[in-house]
């Protein structure tokens, strides 16, 4: 059954104004399903690395003659020769919504699309389901949108709190891919194993540069174990017996295929206080659980990685909500040499919005220590009140509670509002 995707409204608007819309994202996040739902009357051609569909690679102009716009071209990275041909046609006719492209990797092909179609194409990224999509919410104003617009208003009128059907551990273990959302629990290990095998055999093999697949498999497992940690290429390389350069290249492949995301360190004026290392996150908590060999949701209870998995899921949720904003905020993390840290800092319009992520159902003032340290380090900056995002409690209302003079705790199940009050 189709679930409404929150990015749908934005994608439709983009197609109403731009000749080329490029939707990228990891495999099986629902790109094709979403586009067929939004544009049911358009022809959709799916490209394949094993064959030249419609001779698109051999004769791209003839292919576009035989498949006129408007059209959906799915997995465009397997037919890169089409990009120049699309550019020539768009230069002659800039009719909005002519070419809807999808891709599941950002390597050279998607880079060439960005460069060749500059000024002609707009780009959007689809990730796995958000909490709102799983709950069946169809739209409205997100808590993030309200907080960025007016933190005081959101504190005065907190968003309602969802009452999820699943426990936190089940949701983290299940993950966020659409197919995983609907499968029985006992079939999820098979799904994740098949997903990983397909990913290695199709996406990674296409990008090449991997000589020992067993070592690369261990590398992906190590990445799962290091989710929500600062990235250290030398340590990564030592742990699996490859050079730091190889570790850097392999991690770049995970990023290029949307399996790994990084949040850079915040660098304000007090540069010497800041660690310059980015924090990395495996994109899907369900895949992370599979790679960590966690056999069931109950295995997360008391597990040392559960806090990191929750942080990864919250950061992913915020990325998904940021994608709905007309101007998405920049994301950073902060860590001082003294060990103080803030998990996430959003920056937009010259204002900083600090976020801590805590796996607790009873947040208190002690959970704001990092937020307080950040304020003391940068007293001159324009800082919004801090948020401590927690799993919340079942049936919790409201979703927001004040835990210090300047900071609030927010349940990650905070829902949508019909409009900003």
Q: Provide the mean pLDDT of the chain.
A: 91
Identify the CA nearest to 101 among candidates 181, 219, 18, 169.
18
Domains of the chain: 8-125 (3.40.50.300), 134-411 (no CATH)
Q: What is the pLDDT of residue 419?
A: 46
Q: How far is CA 68 from CA 65, 72, 187, in A?
A: 6, 10, 41
Residue 262 has pLDDT above 60, yes or no: yes
The per-residue pLDDT for 418 is 54
Dihedral angle at the C-alpha atoms of 35, 41, 43, 47, nearest 10 degrees?
A: 20
HSE-CB at 125 with a 13 A cutoff on CA atoms is: 22
Contact 132, 5 (CB under 8 A): no
Q: How far is CA 418 from CA 12, 83, 160, in A?
A: 20, 41, 11
Per-residue confidence (pLDDT) for residue 273, from 0 to 100: 39
Helix axes 213-225, 233-240, angle to 10 degrees: 130
pLDDT at 379: 93
Q: Which residue has the tokens 């709905």?
A: 324
Using a 10 angstrom Cβ sphere, with 0-12 exposed, 13-18 middle and 19 or more buried, the burial of residue 121 is buried
- Taking a C-beta distance cutoff of 8 angstroms, is the pair 314, 123 a contact? no
pLDDT of the residue at 209: 64
Roughly what angle, to the nearest 10 degrees, separates helices 8-17 and 31-38? 60
How many other CB atoms are there within 10 angstroms of residue 271's CB atom? 8
**Exposure of 207 in the CB half-sphere (CA atoms within 13 A):** 20
**Can you give the pTM of this predicted structure?**
0.93
pLDDT digits (tens, 9 = 90+) for 15-44: 999 999 999 999 999 999 999 999 999 999
> Is residue 174 within 8 Å of 187, Cβ to Cβ?
no
Crossing angle between the packed helical segments 244-256 and 233-240, to the nearest 10 degrees: 100
Q: What band does 214 get if pLDDT is binned at 50, 70 and 90?
A: confident
Let me know: does 331 contact 340? Beta carbons within 8 Å: no
Q: What is the pLDDT of residue 139?
A: 74
Q: Is the pLDDT of residue 60 over 60?
A: yes
d(CA 101, CA 123): 9
Residue with tokens 């900003």: 420
Q: Tokens representing 33?
A: 């399903």
For 171-200, what is the mean pLDDT? 96
What DSSP letter does each residue of 26-67 carry, written as one string?
STTSSHHHHHHHH-TTSEEEE-BTTB-GGGTTT-HHHHHHHS
pLDDT per residue over 238-247, tens digit each? Answer: 999 999 999 9
Given a cut of 90, whether residue 299 has pLDDT beyond it is yes
Q: What is the pLDDT of residue 394?
A: 62
How far apart, in whole angstroms, are the C-alpha atoms of residue 177 and residue 195? Answer: 10
Angle between helix 244-256 and helix 213-225 axes, rounded to 10 deg: 80
* Alpha helix (H) residue ranges in 212-368: 213-225, 233-240, 244-256, 285-291, 306-322
The three-state secondary structure class of 386 is strand
Alpha-carbon torsion (36, 203, 228, 341), positive or negative: negative
Residue among 212, 228, 232 nearest 279 (CA): 228
Name the 3-class secondary structure at 393. coil
What's residue 421's pLDDT? 38
Q: Is the dihedral of CA 21, 27, 31, 36 positive or negative?
A: positive
Q: Measure CA of the first residue to CA of the last residue in the chain; give whole Å.
A: 33
User: What digits encode the pLDDT tens for the residues 320-376?
Assistant: 999 999 999 999 999 988 899 999 999 999 999 999 999 999 999 999 999 999 999
């Amino acid at each position: 059954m189709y679930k409404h995707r929150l990015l749908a409204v934005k994608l439709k608007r983009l197609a109403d104004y731009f000749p080329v819309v490029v939707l990228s994202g990891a495999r099986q996040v629902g790109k094709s399903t979403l586009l067929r739902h939004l544009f049911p009357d358009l022809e959709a051609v799916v490209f394949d690395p094993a064959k030249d569909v419609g001779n698109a690679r051999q004769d791209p102009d003839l292919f576009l003659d035989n498949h006129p716009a408007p059209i959906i071209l799915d997995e465009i990275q397997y037919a890169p020769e089409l990009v120049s041909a699309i550019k020539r046609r768009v230069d002659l006719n800039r009719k909005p919504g002519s070419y809807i492209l999808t891709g599941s990797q950002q390597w050279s092909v998607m880079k060439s699309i960005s460069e060749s179609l500059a000024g002609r194409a707009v780009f959007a990224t689809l990730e796995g389901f958000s909490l709102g999509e799983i709950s069946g919410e169809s739209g409205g104003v997100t808590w993030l949108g309200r907080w960025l617009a007016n933190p005081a208003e959101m504190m005065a009128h907190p968003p309602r709190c969802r009452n999820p059907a699943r426990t936190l551990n089940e949701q983290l273990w299940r993950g966020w891919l659409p197919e995983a959302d609907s499968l029985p629990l006992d079939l999820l290990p098979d799904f994740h194993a098949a997903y990983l095998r397909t990913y290695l055999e199709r996406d990674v093999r296409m990008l090449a540069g991997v000589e020992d697949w067993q070592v690369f498999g261990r590398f992906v497992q190590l990445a799962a174990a290091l989710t929500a940690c600062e990235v250290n290429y030398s340590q990564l390389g030592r742990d699996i017996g490859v050079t730091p350069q190889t570790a850097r290249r392999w991690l770049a492949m995970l990023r290029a295929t949307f399996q790994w995301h990084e949040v850079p360190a915040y660098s304000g004026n007090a540069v010497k206080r800041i660690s310059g290392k980015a924090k990395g996150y495996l994109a899907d908590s369900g895949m992370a659980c599979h790679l960590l060999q966690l056999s069931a949701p109950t295995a997360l209870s008391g597990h040392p990685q559960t806090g990191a998995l929750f942080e990864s899921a919250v950061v992913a949720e915020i990325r998904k909500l940021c994608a709905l904003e007309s101007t998405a905020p920049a994301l950073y993390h902060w860590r001082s040499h003294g060990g103080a840290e803030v998990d996430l800092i959003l920056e937009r319009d010259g204002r900083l919005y600090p976020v801590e992520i805590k796996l607790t159902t009873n947040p208190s003032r002690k959970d704001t220590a990092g937020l307080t340290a950040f304020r003391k380090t940068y007293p001159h900056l324009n800082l919004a009140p801090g948020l401590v995002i927690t799993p919340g409690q079942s049936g919790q209302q409201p979703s927001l509670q004040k835990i210090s003079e300047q900071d609030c705790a927010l349940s990650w199940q905070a829902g949508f509002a019909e409009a900003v009050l």
